[in-house]
A and B are shown apart, each in its own frame.
Chain A
Amino acid sequence: MSKLLIDVGSTYFKVCQTSGISQYFRDFKKDIYDDLVTKCGNIFANYQKEDIFICSSANGGLSTLIIGLTNSFSLKFAKNIAFNSGINIIDTILYSKIEESRAPSELVDVVIIVGGIDGIGGVFDEKLFDYLKNVQYSNIVYVGTKQDVSFLSAHIPELKVLGNIITEKLHVNGGELKEYLTNLYQADIVGKEDIKHLYEITANQIYSTPYIVNRSLPLIDANFEVVNPFIVVDIGGATTDIHYSRDLVRDNIVSESGYDRLVFKKLGVFKSRETLIFAAKNNEFVYELLAYLNVTENILEEESEKSLRILMQLSIFLVLYKVSRLHPLYVTLHLELLNTIVLTGGITKVLSYEEVEMIIEFFYKKVMNLHAIPNIVMDSDYAIWTLGMENNENSAS
């Protein structure tokens, strides 16, 4: 009996049968299970639960929606705390514009409400409740003025109240919120409800997509035109993963695997769009890069095909930058030794080879001071993922 392989991404489902790979754009109004069954239910009918293998990158980190009173204080402080807790900010809502703001269509892990120093009351009103009626969330936390606590608690069931993150001197006080978000994140690792539900389809363990991709790495150079050392960059809607040969790291860590991976939960072009733009705007090369791409920073605020392409190009640059010697916070890879860059994930469906090449040339010229660039391989039919799933399944059986 043949196997059925499914990858649940933040933007697409990918389904692999012997006959080939098909992909389905996700309906964010539905939960993952319902959406998958609606789209692929007839396929599942042909397979036993034991022959269906699922991996997911849709459970990569927590998502948050922040509702704040002003850009300069409430939203700025809450965003800063969320970033530092490793949370994906999917949107921020300025309270004065809440009536015109659209609620996110997907399930939000935690909604953060903030506004006003202690001592002032009546900051929030019915507008907030009307908006929240349209938001699907798992947790909701209030970190604004004390005076509104009883009013909000009376109207929002399950509201978690923590100390105000804005001090009486308009400074940030993030301790309690940071601890709360960090604890939520830990709880999330245990498993999201959305993903747990998928065990109705499969009798096998559900793995994370980065794990599966990592499993395929030892086999990549035999199956693709890839020369070691190489990196695999998987840029998706919510997260970006980079898998790299350990030959690129000069440290004294002894590892069983020849490959390691880094996950950038904040970098994605769809679900984590805002955090990607935030990271881009704070990069020292970004304006030069935008000029090189012949666009202005206004493109980052647009919702268009071109804007998506630019964001994807930016994300390639940012990932390389974050592992380069210019960015000591992450692992430093010796990119001058790199022979091949393999791109996989949603990015290969949007960008052309030339667009990828353009951005890698810019990176190597500006950051590495090199004119030669590594070989580029575009895995546009998810062959790496299929390879990893098959390898995982064979070693399990």
Chain B
Amino acid sequence: MKVVTGVVGNDIHVVANRLIDISLQARGFEVFNLGVNTSLEEFIDAVVETDADILLISSLNGEAEGWCRDLQFLRSEYNLKEVIFVIGGNLAVGEAAQSDIVPKYKSYGFDLVFHQIDLNTGLDEIERFVKERV
């Protein structure tokens, strides 16, 4: 399966990005890593160019909230109904409860939201979601 990944917005957490890339490859995914400082439009465009199955956006400084609000709009532009949209990392500035964050990002159009959750746990969850969908 093809996964497009990268860090959204003005965020340069390159180590986390590299770890996600390596972990995905270790699980057999074909990875297209856009790196840090990536805009939402670039993510969507990469999904279109590669015909990816999953978009996995990461964010560590809490900026994702401001950068991902247009996901529904961009998703509908290209008719990407089959693509699984995932976001993970630290998704809020300061303290925020899972119960507030998860519904908010789901309303933006993400299928899976991982706020302050261990990487491998998140990846297990993605694999489970993919199997269920098949």
Contacts and interface: CB of A to CB of B under 8 A. Distances in A.
Interface of A: 69-74, 96, 115-117, 120, 166, 169-170
A170 B46 contact: yes
A73 B44 CA distance: 11
Contacts of A70: 44-46, 48-49
A74 B45 CA distance: 9
A117 B4 CA distance: 13
Interface in B86-111: none
Contacts of B51: 116, 120
Most buried by A among B42, B44, B48: B48
Nearest to B38: A72
Given A72-B41, A72-B42, A170 B49 contact: yes
Nearest to B41: A72
A375 B34 CA distance: 52
29 contacts: A69-B45, A69-B48, A69-B49, A70-B45, A70-B46, A70-B48, A70-B49, A71-B45, A72-B41, A72-B42, A72-B45, A72-B46, A73-B45, A73-B49, A74-B49, A96-B77, A96-B78, A116-B49, A116-B50, A116-B51, A117-B49, A120-B51, A166-B49, A169-B32, A170-B32, A170-B34, A170-B46, A170-B49, A170-B50
B89 to A, nearest CB: 22
Most buried by B among A116, A120, A166, A170: A170
Interface residues of B, number: 14
Interface of B: 32, 34, 39, 41-42, 44-46, 48-51, 77-78
A120 B48 CA distance: 10
B40 to A, nearest CB: 10
Contacts of B32: 169-170
Contacts of A74: 49
Most buried by A among B41, B44, B50: B50
Contacts of B34: 170
Contacts of B42: 72
Given A70-B49, A73-B49, A117-B50, 11 more contacts: A69-B48, A71-B41, A71-B45, A72-B41, A72-B42, A74-B49, A96-B78, A117-B49, A120-B51, A166-B49, A169-B32
A169 B34 CA distance: 9
A71 B77 CA distance: 13
Contact of A120 (B41, B50, B77, B78): B50
A115 B45 CA distance: 11
Nearest to A95: B48
A116 B49 CA distance: 4
Contacts of A69: 45, 48-49
Contacts of A169: 32
Nearest to A71: B45
Contacts of A166: 49
A61 B46 CA distance: 33
A73 B51 CA distance: 13
A145 B49 CA distance: 9
A41 to B, nearest CB: 49
B46 A73 contact: yes
Contacts of B49: 69-70, 73-74, 115-117, 166, 170
A72 B42 CA distance: 6
A96 B77 CA distance: 8
A240 B45 CA distance: 34
A166 B44 CA distance: 16
Contacts of B78: 96
A143 to B, nearest CB: 13
A170 B50 CA distance: 8
Contacts of B39: 72
Nearest to B43: A72
Nearest to A76: B45
A110 to B, nearest CB: 22
A70 B4 CA distance: 15
Nearest to B48: A70
Contacts of A71: 41, 45
Contacts of B45: 69-73
A166 B48 CA distance: 13
B25 to A, nearest CB: 13
Contacts of B50: 116-117, 120, 170
The 4 closest A-B pairs by CB, nearest first: A70-B45, A72-B45, A120-B51, A72-B42
A69 B44 CA distance: 11
A209 B98 CA distance: 69
A73 B77 CA distance: 16
A122 to B, nearest CB: 9
B36 to A, nearest CB: 15
A73 B45 CA distance: 7
A379 B72 CA distance: 53
